[in-house]
Each structure stands twice: as C-alpha cells, then as structure tokens.
Amino acid sequence: MHDLSRRLPASAFRYQNGSLHCEGVALDAIADSLGTPFYCYSAGRLRERYRAFAAALAPLGVGIHFAMKANGNQAVLKLFASEGAGTDIVSGGELARSLAAGIPGDRIIFSGVGKTAAEIDAALASGVHQLNVESFEELRLVDAIAARRGVVASVALRINPDVDAETHAKITTGKKDNKFGIDVALLDRLDNEVKALQNVRILGVAAHIGSQIMKATPLIAAYRRLGEIADDLKRRGLPIERIDLGGGFGIPYRGEAELTPASLATAIAQTVAGRGYHLAVEPGRTLVADAGVLVAGVTYVKDAGHMRFLVLDAAMNDLVRPAMYDAHHDIVPVNEPAADADLTEYDVVGPICESSDTFDKHIRLPEMRAGERVVLATAGAYGATMSSTYNARALAPEVLVDGNRFAVIRRRIDIAEQIGWDQVPEWM
C-alpha cells in the first residue's frame, strides 16, 4: 500500500475521488483556472496550528508573535491577527505589511541585526511593543532617535546565549560567533552605558538561537540562561519585566518526531514561567509550514538512459529551500496512485540553468506522465517569501482555501509586469 500523502496533514490535504484536495477544493480545479506553479494554503490548518500553540501556551501567559518572514501574505496575517496573534518583524517592509493587515503597533516586536535609522524611526512612530536591540551601537541609535521624537523606546536586549541549536549551520543564530545578539560577557558594560541613556527603557531580554530546532534540550538551555540573565540585570537595577523566548520550533519535513506545542510548554514551565516575567514567543515556520504546498506541473519525464528526471514547471526561484539549505520537501502526485502501483525512481528538477535547481534525488514515485501535477509538501514557510524572479520567471501566485472556497491571495506577477519595473535611461 502506498500512502504517498502520509506526510501531508490529513486535516488539510487528502485524496478524494482519486485526486488530491486542499480541504474541499480539488488542487486540479485551482490549477485548471490558474495554471501552475502556485502556492496553496489551508486556512483550516493555519487556524488549527495557531490554536494548538495558543492552547498550550495560554496557561503560561505567553504572548504569540508570528514571525512573518516565514509567510507575510496579507491574508495570512489577517487570519492570525483575528486569532489574536501579534507579529515579529525584521524590516520596515514587514512593519508596513503588519500595519496594513490591521495588526496594531502594540502587538509588534521588531527584531533584526541591522535596523536602519529610518526603520527605527518608523517603528517608534507606530508605537511598537518592543525593539529587540542587538548591540550597544544600536541601543545608542535608538536612544537618539527616540529623543528626537520625544518618546521613550521599549527595548529588549537580544542576548547571544552561546547555545548550539543543533540545526543546519545556515540557520544557527545563537552561537558566540554568529552575528546575532549581544555576547553575555559584554553585559558588564551595560551599567555605565545605559545610565546615560534617557530615551530607552530596557524592560526585557530576548533570544532566538536558530530555526528548525527539533529537540527541547537546546531551548531549555537557552531559556534557563535567559532567566538567569533577566534576574541578574534586574539585580543591577534595570527594569526587566519581559522575557522574549524567540522562535525556531522545528517541524517534521521527513516525518521525524515533532517538537510539539506541549513539549514547548513544558520547556517554558521548567525554566522561566511563574517568575513574574511577561513571556513571549516568536514562532514562524511551525505555524505555517505544513499548511502550504507548492503545486507544480510535470513538463517532461526525461529518460536519461541510466536514470529518469521529472522536469517540473516550478524551480528554485519559486522554492529555494532545497538549493539553499539542502532542505527536503516530500513530493506527492496529485492523481491518487493505485494502492499496488509500481514505483519508479526519479530525480525531480526545475528548468533553471543551475545544477542546484534540484528538488530531490532518487525518490520513488508511481509512473508519472508529462502534464500530470505534483505537490511539494510542507512549503507554507519560507516558500513564497523567499521566491524571486531569477531567469525572468513569474512570481508564483498564492491561493488560500477555506472549506469549499478558494481565493487568489497574490496574483501571478508575470513577465509583462516585471518588464514594467525596469527603466531605460532616456539618453540610451
């Protein structure tokens, strides 16, 4: 028995009448009207994920700030906002997107290692809940800009706790030699430095040690460290009342054991809960990843003699994670395979002129034909937001399904529109 769809969340993606559906809508029906490739998200699954986190963390009084760089579509933000979420942002662009989706400033945390003066100014103008400051240089700049505005900025110090998140090197952020956060050893400079600053109020500490973390152990180490640092800074007279635990909660791309909301809640309960601090988390990937798929068409089944390639109409510009992080996305046919179908080995690739434009190698699928469709599973996080127009390709549209209806929530940005972005100097 082949159950190729087993790693798609069954509450959102199921075979019905021989073809893969998102909730009540056939992916083929969307593909027939829109063309491929496109991203498809299940609103029901987004709500289900958010509610699972909220239910586990609410008893501990933990605020949830969706790290919107994982998926910043206005419709997705509005959905989470209506569930009560705030956002964690990393740029002025994400600030504008949050505000446009109706998320008020006081539900926004601004993270990021290189905030510009203009971004800090815009954040203070919209009254953000908290700026997570990553260096003393940034702290001084925030103070100066806040002084000019005549306000006092609410600031948390992003600490580099020097904890190994045990994840991919490119998404590790909490080790001493990563660019993120303030080295714990430097905190001794704080007393003198901070006393002179009139327009910042350091009311929290924050950490975010990496992404796609699958075990509670590194999180527990980081949270414990943050709790100690918060206590220590309080003893030194800073008005610390908040601890921001960051995000990074992993999801099972290959069917690994999941870091569940319950185990996260336990990690928080064991370390920082119940000590009088307001707590927050910044989950991105875990709220959106498995609610989304990238639907692609098979352009060719290329017989290379010793092996076979599935050449898709989706490419690394649409979904860069395999090329960038060696990430794995299960590939599932839209047509339901017969239970006893023979499996064939394929390398699944895109059309771009780079060998890294490969989605997977040596995967076993039923016999595929040109014109059929597949989904790349677990593509709701860092998919559309990391897409580009490389090779003068369109930006793939995004679709939201809710029950029996679907809507295009970002149209395809086609080449005519992209050519219009360019300007030829008049002297040419």
Provide, rounded to whole angstroms, the least separation between the CB of residue 263 and ligand PLP.
15
The answer to whether 71 contacts ligand PLP (rule: CB under 6 A) is no
Residue from the set 211, 271, 317, 378 that interacts with ligand PLP by CB under 6 A: 211
For CA atoms 22, 26, 31, 34, give the dihedral sign. Answer: negative
Give me the least distance between CB of 65 and ligand PLP, in Å please.
8
Q: Applying CB under 6 A, does 247 fall inside the site for ligand PLP?
A: yes
For ligand PLP, give the closer residue by CB, 163 or 368: 163
Q: Which of 23, 94, 143, 282 binds ligand PLP (CB under 6 A)?
A: 282
Q: Residue of minimal CB distance from ligand PLP?
A: 284
Determine contact, residues 242/277, Cβ cutoff 8 Å: yes
- Does 97 bind ligand PLP (CB under 6 A)? Our answer is no
Shortest distance (Å) from residue 257 CB to ligand PLP: 17
Nearest of 246, 21, 235, 241 to residue 111 by alpha carbon: 246
What span, in angstroms and rounded, lies between the C-alpha atoms of 129 and 109? 6
Q: Considering only CA atoms, which of 244, 251, 37, 56 is closest in space to residue 157?
A: 244
**Alpha carbons 268 and 62: distance in angstroms, whole number:** 9
Long-range contacts formed by 181-190: CB under 8 A, 24+ apart = 181/134, 181/207, 181/208, 182/133, 182/134, 182/135, 182/136, 182/157, 182/158, 184/159, 184/160, 184/225, 184/229, 186/136, 187/157, 187/159, 187/229, 187/232, 187/233, 189/136, 190/233, 190/236, 190/238
Closer by beta carbon to ligand PLP, 181 or else 337: 181
267 binds ligand PLP (CB under 6 A): no
Q: 380: which 2 tokens?
A: 């709701």
Cβ neighbours of residue 401 closer than 8 Å, sequence gap 6 or more? 22, 23, 24, 25, 30, 40, 41, 42, 43
Position among 174, 246, 333, 397 found at the interface with ligand PLP (CB under 6 A): 246
Shortest reach from residue 280's CB to ligand PLP, in Å? 10
Could you say whether residue 337 binds ligand PLP (CB under 6 A)? no
* Catalytic sites, residue numbers: 353
Residue 329 as a binder of ligand PLP (CB under 6 A): the answer is no
| Shortest distance, position 311 Cβ to ligand PLP, whole Å | 30
Of 10-18, 75-83, 119-127, 281-289, the window that binds ligand PLP (rule: CB under 6 A) is 281-289
Q: Is 30 or 165 the residue whose CB approaches ligand PLP more closely? A: 165
Distant-in-sequence, close-in-space partners of 150: CB < 8 Å, separation ≥ 6: none
Q: Where would I find the beta strands (DSSP E) of 49-98? A: 62-67, 86-89
The reply on whether position 88 binds ligand PLP by CB under 6 A is yes
Stretch that binds ligand PLP, among 19-27, 197-205, 234-242, 282-290 (CB under 6 A): 282-290
Residue with Cβ nearer ligand PLP (36 or 211): 211
Q: Does 90 bind ligand PLP (CB under 6 A)?
A: yes
- Min dist CB 286 to ligand PLP, Å, is 6
Identify which of residues 70 and 334 has a Cβ nearer to ligand PLP in the complex.
Answer: 70
Nearer Cβ to ligand PLP (57/70): 70
Q: Would you count residue 261 as binding ligand PLP (CB under 6 A)?
A: no
Is residue 393 part of the contact set for ligand PLP (CB under 6 A)?
A: no
Q: Which residue has the tokens 């969307």?
A: 30
Strands 62-67 and 278-281: parallel
Does 387 participate in binding ligand PLP (rule CB under 6 A)? no
> What's the length of the chain?
428
Q: Select the residue interacting with ligand PLP from 98, 111, 154, 172 (CB under 6 A).
A: 111
> Using an 8 Å Cβ cutoff, are 292 and 40 in contact?
yes
* Residue 313 near ligand PLP by CB under 6 A: no
Nearest approach in angstroms of CB 336 to ligand PLP is: 32
Q: Is 98 helix (H, G, I), strand (E, B) or coil?
A: helix
Mapping DSSP onto H, E and C, the string for 225-254 reads HHHHHHHHHHHCCCCCCEEECCCCECCCCC
Count other Cβ atoms within 10 Å, centred on residue 9: 18
What is the rounded CA–CA span in Å between residue 198 and residue 173?
Answer: 30
- Select the residue interacting with ligand PLP from 46, 57, 70, 279 (CB under 6 A): 70
If DSSP codes are grouped into helix, strand and coil, which group holds residue 164?
A: coil
Contact residues for ligand PLP, defined by CB under 6 A? 67, 69-70, 88, 90, 111, 208, 211, 246-249, 282-286
